[in-house]
Each structure stands twice: as structure tokens, then as C-alpha cells.
Amino acid sequence: SSPSRFAALVLGACHFAMRPGCVLVFLAGAQQNPPVWPESVQVFGPGDAGIADAVNAAYATNGGKHDHGQFSTKNFAFLFKPGTYTVDVPVGFYTQVLGLGDSPDDVEFTGPKGVYCEEGATEFTVGALDTFWRGAENFRS
């Protein structure tokens, strides 16, 4: 039997059994756990070396004065496992910083700035539109 026929049978069985999770598991297929992330995604633990180097390199690409990186094609995601981090994390354009704890209290940044976003433009007549296309959530700073 062909792979497409097999897929139709499995999807039909999942639909008949009214088990939506079955369809999701089938469609996702077998995947390595943890997944193989692209270089633009980095997962850190509290004892990891090189965190400051990684986040500063991303900021050098997509952050800083004069809206550097505002129209970049580079994207970055930094995921932090539960724990305490003494590093400051500047958040540039197209950068996401995520705490992986169950609660924001599970991931804490204790550096002088913590996780922060600087205004990219020194000319403030343009307003707050220079701080979008970035995100940070689920941690304490």
C-alpha cells in the first residue's frame, strides 16, 4: 500500500475515533527530543558559558543606535531554562527572549540591566515605533 493511502487510513481512523491528538501526533511524525534547532535558536541553562557572547552578537546584528537591524533578515530566539542568570540581555529587532519555567519566577536575570530594550533612534520625534519586532516574556528581571 502506498504512503498516501496509509496516511489517509490513519487520518480516517483518527477522525473516526474523534481523537484530534492522534492526528497531531501522526502529522508531527517522529522528531528528536530536544529538537534540532537552527543556529538562530539557542537554549541556555544557568551554568552555561558564552551567553553574553551569543546575545551580544545578535544585538550587534539587529540592535543598537540608528535602528541598526530594523529591516534585517536575521532572526534570533534565546530560551532560558529555569534558574538565575547574571547576564544582561539586550533585545534587538527580530529577537525573542523566553523564560522556560512554569512561572516568570522560575527564570531570573540579576544583572544591572537584566533583559532590556534600548531605543534605537537618538531622534525621538519618530516615537515608540522603533522598539517593535522584538519580544521578551516569562521571566523576572
pLDDT of 114: 96
In the chain, at which residue ranges do the beta strands (DSSP E only) sit? 41-44, 76-80, 83-85, 89-90, 95-99, 107-109, 115-116, 134-137
pLDDT of 16: 38
**Those residues with Cβ within 8 angstroms of residue 131's Cβ, 6 or more apart along the chain or in another chain:** 117, 119, 120
pLDDT of 103: 96
Q: Are 42 and 87 in contact (CB under 8 A)?
A: no
Amino acid in the structure at residue 64: G
pLDDT of 85: 98
Q: How far apart are CA 108 and CA 50, in angstroms?
A: 17
Amino acid in the structure at residue 55: V
Block residue for cell numbers 544583572: 111
Q: Read off the pTM.
A: 0.73
HSE-CB for 21 with a 13 A CA cutoff: 0
pLDDT of 18: 44
Could you tell me the three cell numbers for 94?
527580530
pLDDT of 32: 80
The DSSP secondary-structure symbol of 140 reads B
Q: Which stretches of the chain score pLDDT less than 70? A: 1-30, 119-131
